[in-house]
């Protein structure tokens, strides 16, 4: 078993950094401080909120310790200076700075010249802030609009790795895609009853290159952070020799209460899928069908002990 190299007691750190700003360290208070909504006092939503609060706190600590110039120039910065206990000893001003404000300051161009490594770190923080606050505006690019040199991945410290193009989440419009296989009964549900619907499409050469490049970026990011999980490839070769990719159909919930989040359209009219059932889905989207798929690129690092690229269909336009 691996042994920890050391421990960090986060309570004093959080008390010093957020105790006075948020009034106390209660979950509901910190959630309100970070504009995460009200605490529901239900087990699963509270766990999710706990994780979000922790990630927001970590982001602020990262920004204040690595980019103190942002906070010194903030109009909200108090006059009193305190010495950082986590940033290497340099003085900086503690401020109540939201993630959105920090992102705007990063984009403002008022920073002093920094070395390339710091610039890369700053870009990484900007992307994380965009994804965390929902400020990235997903636009589905045509494959020829995607610049492979601008494709990379951001690790958020949790179970997901987020592929990006430039400063936005990577989203691609795959028109005229042939459905090789529709949803299979055998792989339609997990052991817990959660839908795991997937269709298989034959991608264009351009989309294939994007998937390969993005998958390599995600694998490199996982390796960089020491994520040791079984890799699930997004690409595979069919029996007739075609390279194919699996596209996930979005669902919410499990069992009989599950609903679709992927939207289906035919002739600009939304198609009602009804209950989450593989047979009824195959009747609407059978094999050999042609679809226009709006695909959001995502990735996972710890899904049932696996890691891989996840291609989620936000919309399917049926021909």
End-of-domain residue from the set 83, 113, 133 = 133
At what angle are helices 43-66 and 99-107 packed, to 10 degrees?
Answer: 30
End-of-domain residue from the set 72, 101, 133 = 133
In a domain, 128, yes or no: yes
CATH number at residue 309: 2.40.50
Range of the domain at 126: 10-133
Based on the domain organization, do 128 and 153 belong to the same domain? Answer: no
Based on the domain organization, do 218 and 309 belong to the same domain? Answer: yes
In a domain, 2, yes or no: no
Confidence at residue 54, expressed as pLDDT on a 0 to 100 scale: 83
Confidence at residue 88, expressed as pLDDT on a 0 to 100 scale: 38
For residues 85 and 159, give the distance between their C-alpha atoms in angstroms, rounded to a whole number: 29
Based on the domain organization, do 150 and 122 belong to the same domain? Answer: no
Cα within 13 Å of Cα(205), Cβ side: 0
Based on the domain organization, do 150 and 71 belong to the same domain? Answer: no
Based on the domain organization, do 168 and 252 belong to the same domain? Answer: yes
For residues 65 and 89, give the distance between their C-alpha atoms in angstroms, rounded to a whole number: 9
The span from the first CA to the last CA of the chain, in angstroms, equals 54
In a domain, 78, yes or no: yes
For residues 68 and 75, give the distance between their C-alpha atoms in angstroms, rounded to a whole number: 14
Confidence at residue 102, expressed as pLDDT on a 0 to 100 scale: 52
Confidence at residue 155, expressed as pLDDT on a 0 to 100 scale: 76
In a domain, 230, yes or no: yes
Based on the domain organization, do 217 and 271 belong to the same domain? Answer: yes
β 306-318/243-249 pair status:
parallel
Q: Which residue has the tokens 């602020």?
A: 60
Whether the CA torsion 142, 213, 231, 127 is positive or negative: it is negative
Whether the model clears a pTM of 0.75, i.e. scores above it, the answer is no
In a domain, 224, yes or no: yes
In a domain, 138, yes or no: no
Based on the domain organization, do 18 and 84 belong to the same domain? Answer: yes
In a domain, 279, yes or no: yes
Q: How far is CA 156 from the centre of its chain?
A: 7
Based on the domain organization, do 92 and 227 belong to the same domain? Answer: no
Largest CA distance in the chain: 70
Based on the domain organization, do 41 and 179 belong to the same domain? Answer: no
Q: How far is CA 118 from the centre of its chain?
A: 23
End-of-domain residue from the set 133, 164, 187 = 133
DSSP the chain: ----S----HHHHHHHHHHHHHSS--HHHHHHHTT-------HHHHHHHHHHHHHHHHHHHHHHHH-HHHHHT-TT--S--EE-SSSSS-EE------HHHHHHHHHTT-PPP--HHHHHHHHHHHHHHHHHHT------B-GGG--GGGEEEEE-SSSBEEEEETTEE-EEEEEEEEEEE---STTSB-TTS-B--EEEEE--HHHHHHHHHHHHHHHHHHHHTT---EEE-SEEE-TTS-EEEEEEEPEES-GGG-EE-SEEEETTEEEP--S--HHHHHHHS-TT-EEEEEEEEEEEEEETTEEEEEEEEEEEEE-
Whether the CA torsion 134, 140, 144, 145 is positive or negative: it is negative
In a domain, 3, yes or no: no
Cα within 13 Å of Cα(202), Cβ side: 13
Confidence at residue 6, expressed as pLDDT on a 0 to 100 scale: 65
Based on the domain organization, do 157 and 114 belong to the same domain? Answer: no
Based on the domain organization, do 189 and 303 belong to the same domain? Answer: yes
Residues in the chain predicted with pLDDT less than 70, given as ranges, are 1-11, 13, 18-23, 68-138, 156-159, 302-304
Q: Which long-range contacts (CB under 8 A, 24 or more apart) does 198-201 make?
A: 198/246, 198/247, 198/248, 198/249, 199/246, 199/247, 199/249, 199/285, 199/313, 200/238, 200/244, 200/245, 200/246, 200/247, 201/174, 201/177, 201/244, 201/245, 201/247, 201/291, 201/293
Based on the domain organization, do 28 and 120 belong to the same domain? Answer: yes
The number of domains in the chain is 2
């Amino acid at each position: 078993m691996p042994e920890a190299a050391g421990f960090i007691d986060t309570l004093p750190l959080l008390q010093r950094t957020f105790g006075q700003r948020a009034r106390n360290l209660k979950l509901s208070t910190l959630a309100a401080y970070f504009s995460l909504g009200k605490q529901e006092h239900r087990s699963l939503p509270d766990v999710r909120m706990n994780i979000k609060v922790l990630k927001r706190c970590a982001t602020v600590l990262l920004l204040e310790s690595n980019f103190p110039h942002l906070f010194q120039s903030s109009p909200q910065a108090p006059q009193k200076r305190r010495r950082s206990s986590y940033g290497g000893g340099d003085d900086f001003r503690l401020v109540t700075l939201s993630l959105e404000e920090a992102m705007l300051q990063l984009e403002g161009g008022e920073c002093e010249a920094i070395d390339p490594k710091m610039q890369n770190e700053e870009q990484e923080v900007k992307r994380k802030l965009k994804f965390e606050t929902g400020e990235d505006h997903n636009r589905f690019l045509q494959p020829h609009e995607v610049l492979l040199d601008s494709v990379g991945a951001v690790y958020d410290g949790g179970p997901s790795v987020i592929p990006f193009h430039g400063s936005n989440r990577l989203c691609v419009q795959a028109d005229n895609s042939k459905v090789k296989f529709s949803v299979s009964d055998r792989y339609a549900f997990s052991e817990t009853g959660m839908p795991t619907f997937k269709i298989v499409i034959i991608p264009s050469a351009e989309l294939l290159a994007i998937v390969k490049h993005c998958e390599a970026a995600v694998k490199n990011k996982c390796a960089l952070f020491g994520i040791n999980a079984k890799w699930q490839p997004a690409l595979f070769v069919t029996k007739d020799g075609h390279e194919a990719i699996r596209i996930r159909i979005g669902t919410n919930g499990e069992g009989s209460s599950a609903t679709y989040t992927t939207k289906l359209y035919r002739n600009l009219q939304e198609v009602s899928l009804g209950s989450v059932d593989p047979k009824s889905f195959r009747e609407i989207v059978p094999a050999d069908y042609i679809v226009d798929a709006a695909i959001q690129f995502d990735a996972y690092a710890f899904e049932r002990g696996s890691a891989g690229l996840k291609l989620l269909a936000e919309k399917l336009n049926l021909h």
